[in-house]
Structure 1
């Protein structure tokens, strides 16, 4: 049981989760007008994940009665995505683009982001192979993941090593919830019940004393240890010296557990790696009660 074998009768776990995200093809990083439309979110994103996702190509759209069908191709397979239209809606082709028409007005068909969500849930076409995880923060949070990615030599090195045929190089930027969330467990089976009051106070210190910079470093560390991305293992400097110092400081906070979550309602991907199976939602949970587990997690290796 989860409560057995724990030393103290009051245990604290720090829970971290992504609040919002922006995802674009890697080449889109250099489209200043394109990324500008997401600036309200990207300026809050300090975590980034890069990897490979299957290319999605729209082949055709048909309309029979109220049944709109969109046909896509990914990795050589064709997928059909149906939509129900209102009565009286027509389909027209203009300037090599598809439009829906009604009462003389034109509108776009269902957008690609909605299509990719449905395609992934129905057919699993959005499998995102995580190759590298990083972060950017700066001294006061002024440096975003986008700022880092624009000058990222590792990103260029991954691209040079080659993107598999049929895939595109994709970037996912995450904004972590700007609040501390500590889960406190009162354990009647604890080995030591003499420090309850002290450890409750420590929990409050963690709740109010863990900075955003520390949360970013812990979230990154948890995701790296969870996915074990190929290029984080290849690059010996995956953790910068400043991040190592932050992690080492967090070691003293005596967390019993740390978790990092990625879970969005309309997420177009199923993230995975060589160590983790594809899933739409992920919870990277680390039990740090044992001293050896704490040393491994906070070592940055």
Structure 2
């Protein structure tokens, strides 16, 4: 295939913010601090994921010199596993004098002499804190992507409220005990604030258009990028196509396609490629699915003009095409 234009370009998205909330936090009806609520209000893409469900090992728990330590237990394919944590700062307040870990050992409570709970630490939150402090992959910071969705509201409800009433989340929570009995559901909320147009020039492309038309189309794409709703739709579809989550149906096979309305803005701007990057290294977690290897940084690349018999942003004369590019269909 040959280049139609001397310059080809791609629109590139990368997440700029990642919020994490466990399903039990979301469904318990609690509220977030105003600053956290504001932070998450711009998160329009979410992933429903699973990781091993954790409990405290009561006999291992210690609290000395305002430091909390112990062991978390969990199962992987039925096998009992343990994960130690230590030196977590926990100053007992409001008259609390001791810790208690009642059955089923999902939470540790700080108690007053009268037995009143002053503060508490859930096992899944401790697991998250421990995971985020570790740059190495292990069972408790590895999350299987089960579903990708978008949550763009009309301004009447916040992002957490929209998710808590989402029908797909309700369905997954109902199915999880059967499909993933030893795992808990965690939600990741993403803002994709890093957007850029990248260009590539092929000075050896024979017959490529290199006049004012070439320059004008690039300038138009830079000045008139896809609107937010269009961008969110493309990012959602790209993530679904890449991760192939088990609870998604749409876009698992038919993205990208020249017939999809989701990509109309790209074709209108003559954008020949799309890339989406999902980075989770900043929050200390690794993502995977049944079709994607585990990593803390995933890059997905899409050739949008392959069915038009035309070289894209990824192609240059005499240079071998990079592997892993997903090509559009008619």
| 2:174 corresponding residue in structure 1 | 160
Q: 1:247 to 1:27 in 2, by over 3 A?
A: farther
SS in 2 for 1:146: helix
Q: Say whether residues 1:49 and 2:47 are aligned partners.
A: yes
- With over 3 angstroms needed to count, the CA separation of the structure-2 counterparts of 1:119 and 1:93, relative to structure 1, is farther
CA distance in 1, matches of 2:45, 2:305: 26
CA distance in 2, matches of 1:83, 1:188: 59
Q: Unmatched 5+ residue regions in structure 2?
A: 101-107, 111-118, 313-325
1:161 & 1:167 partners in 2: Cα distance? 12
Shift in Å, 1:124 = 3.9
Secondary structure of residue in 1 paired with 2:170: helix
Quickly say closer, same or farther: Cα 1:64–1:40, change in 2 above 3 A: closer
- Work out whether 1:125 is the aligned partner of 2:140: yes
Of 160, 170, 182, 2:186 maps to 170
In the TM superposition, residue 258 of structure 1 has moved relative to its aligned partner by 0.8
Query: Aligned ranges for residues 193-272 of structure 1 at < 5 Å?
Result: 193-209=208-224, 210-233=226-249, 245-272=261-288
CA deviation map 1:96-135 (0-9, x unaligned):
3599xxxxxxx999x7343122457252422211111111
2:71 equivalent in structure 1: 71
Cα separation, partners in 2 of 1:114 and 1:84, compared to 1, 3 Å: closer
Query: Unaligned 5+ residue runs, structure 1?
Result: 100-106
Aligned to 1:39: 37
Residues 55 and 208 of structure 1: CA distance in aligned 2, closer, same or farther (over 3 Å): farther
- Write the deviation string for residues 71-117 of structure 1: whole angstroms up to 9, x where unpaired: 222322112345599xxx9xx97243599xxxxxxx999x7343122
Helix, strand or coil at the partner of 1:231: coil
Instruction: Give 1 or 2: higher helix fraction.
Output: 1
Q: 1:146 to 1:68 in 2, by over 3 A?
A: closer
Cα-to-partner distance string for 1:203-227 (whole Å, 9 max, x where unaligned): 2322231222221111111111111
Inter-CA distance 83–128: structure 2 relative to 1 (3 Å threshold):
same
* Number of aligned residues: 277
1:70 Cα deviation after fit: 4.1
Moved more, 209-218 or 11-20: 209-218
Q: Which residue number in structure 2 is paired with residue 102 of structure 1?
A: none
Give the C-alpha shift of residue 181 in structure 1: 0.5
Task: Decide whether aligned partners of structure 1 residues 143 and 118 sit closer, same or farther in structure 2, where only a CA change above 3 A counts.
Answer: same
Q: Distance in 2 between matches of 1:146 and 1:108?
A: 22
CA 191–227 in structure 1, closer or farther in 2 if over 3 Å, else same:
farther
Question: Cα gap change, 1:138/1:64 in structure 2, threshold over 3 Å: closer, same or farther?
Answer: closer
Query: What is the TM-score when the length of structure 2 is the normalising length?
Result: 0.69
Whether the 8 Å contact between 2:303 and 2:327 is mirrored in structure 1 is no
1:129-148 aligned within 5 A: 129-138=144-153, 145-148=159-162
Query: What is the TM-score with the length of structure 1 in the denominator?
Result: 0.75
- Give the match for residue 129 of structure 2: 114
3-state SS in 2 of match to 1:39: helix
RMSD: 3.9
**Contact 1:10/1:196 (8 A) holds in 2:** no
Alignment deviations for residues 227-261 of structure 1 (CA, whole Å, 9 cap, x no partner): 1111212799x99xxxx634334332222211111
Per the alignment, residue 116 of structure 2 pairs with none
